[in-house]
Amino acid sequence: MPKTEARKNESTEDLIKRFKRDVSKSGVLRDAKDKKFYVKPSVRKKMEQRAARKKK
């Protein structure tokens, strides 16, 4: 979890904006969404192959 401390004379809106940016960069929300439910290894492999095909 990223740590965001308030700077001197920083508004709460700016602090929240910085925190959201730090969280999105660290990938915390992406990990939480991925671990929301269990995906069998075979299904995960199929999903990765499908994404790779789609990427090309």
Residue extents of the structural domains in the chain: 12-55
Which segments of the chain does DSSP mark as H helices, in order?
12-26, 28-34, 41-55
User: For residue 9, what pLDDT is reported?
Assistant: 93
| pLDDT by position in tens, the chain (length 56) | 788 899 999 999 999 999 999 999 999 888 888 889 999 999 999 999 999 999 87
Is-contact 28 11, C-beta < 8 A?
A: no
Residue 27 amino acid letter:
G
30-44 pLDDT, tens digit each: 888 888 999 999 999
Residue 14 CB neighbour total at 10 angstroms: 12
User: For residue 55, what pLDDT is reported?
Assistant: 83
